[in-house]
Amino acid sequence: MSRFFAPMIRLLRPVALATLLFGAAGAQAIEQDDLLPVDEAFALSASAPARDTVAVRFAIADGYYLYRHRTSVEVLDGGFTAGPLVLPAGDKHTDEFFGEVETYRGSLEATLPGNADATATTLRLRVKYQGCADLGICYPPQAREVTVSLPPAPAGDASAALPPVAGLLSGGRSSGLLSNNTANGEAGLTATGAAGLPLPDIEAYRLEAVTDGPDRIVVRFTIAPGYYLYRDKTTFAAQSDRGALVRPGEWPAARTHSDEYFGEQAVYYDEVLVPLDVVRTQSGADTLRLTVGFMGCQENGVCYPPLKRVLTVDLADAPANADAPSAEGAISDTAGPSASRAADGIGLFAALAFALFGGLILNLMPCVLPILSLKALGLAGSGESAEKARSHALWYTAGVVLSFAALGGLALALREAGLALGWGFQLQQPAVVGGLALLMFAVGLSLSGVFNLGGGLANVGGALTQKSGPAGDFFTGVLAVVVAAPCTAPFMGAALAYAFAASPVVAIGVFVALGIGLALPFLAIGFVPGLAQRLPKPGAWMDTLKQVLAFPMYLTAVWLVWVLAKQRGADAVGWVLGGAVLLALGLWAWEQARFKSATMRAFAIVIATLGVAALWPVQQLPSAREAAAAAGTNASANAPSQPAADGSVPYSAEALAALRAEGRVVFVNMTADWCVSCKANERAVLSTDAFAAARNGANAVYMKGDWTDVDPAITAYLQQYGAVGVPFYAVYPAGGGEPEILPNLLTIGIVESALTKATAK
């Protein structure tokens, strides 16, 4: 399983943050470890061939390029009146953030015309520029000061005796890739070294936490002079043996900072005290492990990547307050005052109840129905004693509950390891999607009579379609959970948000409650004789129904292959279809050789195994972003483009910030092709004329984020609002303010009401 997650882990390395903040470009021509310092990638020099002309030159290393529109020259002093900078035409380039631009490779020579005073001898210039590496990382905007000596003036001029001097670059190396942007857009170390070498993050930001009573913690950030901290990029997550949670209290006033990439940001200098309310779900003394995530920058210098510190706080004995008014809004992994309230006001028992009801409703979701039909067929045909019926129900429940607990435990473990994951994360892995497609196809073949599971194979999977057998009941429960992942039923969102914020023990309890809810109908049939008696009696009709039920399995396999095509393209579809043919051949050969030679059965297993082995090359295929980078383009799921057929524009944090700065109403839809609930909402509501009319009436922008594949930018957005998966819908009001978070299942009335309120604000 680890090899399936390896590509996802690579995508979530810190370099992804740099790409997100500063842009991505071009084909991968160099290795990350070989990334040059900025002054080696773009070697700057300047000279004056004449008193009325200054030449500014860049020697650009292979695999790097400069932006034309980000290059400028300013005369700081020296008695030179400059005209507009003359730049040669560059190469046409479609940039992810800047759109259609021109770039330079190899070298650049710009000319600054002007008039020098008669006494002018030396000029001091400020050169601004920005460039990128083909690796996919862009340097922050740079500013360098250079001095240039003018040629001697004509005879009789006071400066005639002064010799020419070559232009000297007075700036030093940039000390990092991630750099903040000051109000005038400059970044990096200047010639005077005003920013200085950056401090280690442990010295730039010192943290401590102290208790202020049994239900309150104060976190103090001590910020070094010349550094600042982003308020809305600060998060708090708590773990304790007794399930305590935290939520930020009233943040102190912050200063406004104009950030080139994040827009207007609230930041803190020097020191800030952040109060946290502690929500106690159990009474007694406790030890709280507080994980603080934050991000900050050096003025006119580097920005640190997202940082995390873990603080331990001893809490005094206190009664549980999970149902008290102070627990309202208790969540962890919150991003300051703008965080979501997905789990607001619910305690442990409410979360368990929501999980139970959400699991029960999952039985009605289209992604689960094909598997449940198998179990219904087995129960209808059992005709056995009450004891046997209870055994069927309990083994099925065991498969469901253990699978939910295992899936939840895996998600929690990967999040604890630093991977930003949500509900349904496994379906972002092409090999998992392809494997499920092959599994559904194999189940359909079994229902169609191509082969029968049994005999030696019963120990590794059980007979899904047979009326008896604990292994078959258990495996049906496992399969029900696997295919339930694309669905998020009502009540599930708040329960999952609570689980991902709680301690591991409490979180697993929530996942177990989800499993019990999903298994509840079959538990009722197994333990309530009156319900079991209402099932139809066994008969010849069952064989016909079994064959009919094969077709929902085939359709499910088709849907999964369609999802795979969205993730990895036609090549992935070809591999999986070829694997399906080999799998079918192997299963058919197994059936033919069931009572024949062991050699033929072994040959059949080899053929089927080769079919499953097609999943390996599928997982190795590049994603859309990786394929675009390899092709030398900047195609991206988040790149600006014209509105799609449904009127939506792709999500990007930059575009959302720009629209909000304009005061526009924005409807954000976070979706995925494997999310059945998402597709149901889009078909029933978001693709209708009524939605288009409501959107136009509110002058709203419809923004869609596609989470079908791993996308750190969308994951970060979901985490900002406490969401653990998709679908997720937010309506941002005109003129600013917090968005309204809509429920997972939409109606046109809900959407129209939200857009109307957003317009009125």
In a domain, 193, yes or no: no
Q: 3-state class of 56 per DSSP?
A: strand
Task: Look up the domain containing 256 and give its range.
Answer: 201-338
Same domain, yes or no, for 587 and 694?
A: no
Q: Are 315 and 287 in contact (CB under 8 A)?
A: yes
Per-range mean pLDDT, top range of 6-10, 170-174, 530-534, 695-699: 695-699
Q: Are 743 and 490 in contact (CB under 8 A)?
A: yes
User: What is the number of alpha carbons within 13 Å of residue 395 lying toward its C-beta?
Assistant: 21
At residue 558, the pLDDT reads 92
User: Residue 525 belongs to what H/E stretch?
Assistant: helix 504-527
- Assign residue 129 the CATH number of its domain: 2.60.40.1250
Q: How does the average pLDDT of the chain come out, rounded?
A: 75
Q: Specify the DSSP class assigned to residue 99.
A: E
Same domain, yes or no, for 418 and 544?
A: yes
**109-165 pLDDT, tens digit each:** 999 988 888 888 888 899 999 888 887 778 878 888 888 888 887 654 433 333 333
Q: 3-state class of 454 per DSSP?
A: coil
User: Residue 495 belongs to what H/E stretch?
Assistant: helix 492-501
User: Residue 278 belongs to what H/E stretch?
Assistant: strand 271-279
Q: Are 280 and 319 in contact (CB under 8 A)?
A: yes
Q: 3-state class of 730 per DSSP?
A: strand
The three-state (H, E, C) secondary structure of 202-271, written as one string: HHHEEEEEEECCCCEEEEEEEECCCEEEECCCCEEEEEECCCCEEEECCCCCCEEEEECCCEEEEEECCE
At residue 532, the pLDDT reads 63
The three-state (H, E, C) secondary structure of 124-188, written as one string: EEEEEECEEECCCCECCCEEEEEEEECCCCCCCCCCCCCCCCCCEECCCCCCCCCECCCCCCCCC
d(CA 717, CA 723): 9
Find the helix packing angle between 369-380 and 504-527, rounded to 10°.
Answer: 40
Same domain, yes or no, for 599 and 687?
A: no
d(CA 484, CA 431): 17
At residue 694, the pLDDT reads 93
At residue 320, the pLDDT reads 59
For residue 250, count CB atoms less than 10 angstroms from its CB and return exposed for 0-12, middle for 13-18, buried for 19 or more. exposed
pLDDT of residue 629 exceeding 80, the answer is no
Nearest residue to 189 via CA among 205, 177, 201, 204: 177
CA 107 from centre of chain: 37
Which token pair is 67?
Answer: 């932006």
Domain boundary among 169, 189, 218: 169
Same domain, yes or no, for 251 and 393?
A: no
Residue tagged 């710009």 (tokens): 110
Same domain, yes or no, for 117 and 153?
A: yes
In a domain, 752, yes or no: yes
d(CA 532, CA 534): 5
Same domain, yes or no, for 319 and 205?
A: yes
In a domain, 481, yes or no: yes
**29-52 pLDDT, tens digit each:** 344 456 788 888 999 999 988 888
**356-411 pLDDT, tens digit each:** 888 888 777 666 666 666 666 565 555 556 777 788 888 888 988 998 888 878 77
For residue 586, count CB atoms less than 10 angstroms from its CB and return exposed for 0-12, middle for 13-18, buried for 19 or more. buried
Q: Is the dihedral of CA 562, 567, 572, 576 positive or negative?
A: negative
* Other CB atoms within 10 A of residue 86 CB: 11
pLDDT of residue 679 exceeding 60, the answer is yes
User: Residue 441 belongs to what H/E stretch?
Assistant: helix 430-447
At residue 34, the pLDDT reads 64
User: What is the number of alpha carbons within 13 Å of residue 452 lying toward its C-beta?
Assistant: 9
Same domain, yes or no, for 597 and 500?
A: yes
Alpha carbon of 669 to those of 478, 637, 646, 728, 741: distances in Å?
Answer: 30, 14, 12, 6, 11
Cis status of the peptide bond prior to 727, with omega within 30 of 0: yes
Same domain, yes or no, for 66 and 155?
A: yes
Q: Are 502 and 399 in contact (CB under 8 A)?
A: no
d(CA 367, CA 358): 14
In a domain, 218, yes or no: yes
Which token pair is 726?
Answer: 């998709």
pLDDT of residue 2 exceeding 50, the answer is no
Same domain, yes or no, for 163 and 272?
A: no
pLDDT of residue 546 exceeding 80, the answer is no
Same domain, yes or no, for 145 and 120?
A: yes
**381-392 pLDDT, tens digit each:** 555 567 777 888
**How long a stretch of residues is the chain?**
761
| Phi and psi angles of residue 660, each rounded to the nearest 5 degrees, phi first | -65, -35
At residue 177, the pLDDT reads 35
Domain boundary among 338, 357, 376: 338
Q: Are 444 and 373 in contact (CB under 8 A)?
A: no
In a domain, 543, yes or no: yes
Q: What is the largest CA-CA distance in the chain?
A: 119
Residue tagged 């078959």 (tokens): 472
Same domain, yes or no, for 427 and 566?
A: yes
Q: Are 426 and 485 in contact (CB under 8 A)?
A: yes
Same domain, yes or no, for 278 and 405?
A: no
For residue 670, count CB atoms less than 10 angstroms from its CB and return exposed for 0-12, middle for 13-18, buried for 19 or more. buried
In a domain, 116, yes or no: yes
d(CA 523, CA 525): 5
Q: Are 669 and 727 in contact (CB under 8 A)?
A: yes
In a domain, 190, yes or no: no
* Region of 143 on the Ramachandran plot (φ > 0 left; ψ -120 to 50 alpha; else beta): beta
At residue 384, the pLDDT reads 58
Q: Which residues does residue 133 pair with via DSSP β-bridges, in sequence order?
A: 64
Domain boundary among 601, 620, 639: 620
Give how many domains the chain has, as a whole number.
Answer: 4
In a domain, 420, yes or no: yes
**71-114 pLDDT, tens digit each:** 999 988 888 888 888 899 889 888 776 778 899 999 999 999 88
Direct distance between the N- and C-terminal alpha carbons of the chain, in angstroms, rounded to an integer: 49
pLDDT of residue 190 exceeding 60, the answer is no
Tell me, yes or no, if the pTM score tops 0.95: no
- Assign residue 744 the CATH number of its domain: 3.40.30.10
At residue 493, the pLDDT reads 66
Residue tagged 């005003």 (tokens): 194
For residue 543, count CB atoms less than 10 angstroms from its CB and return exposed for 0-12, middle for 13-18, buried for 19 or more. exposed
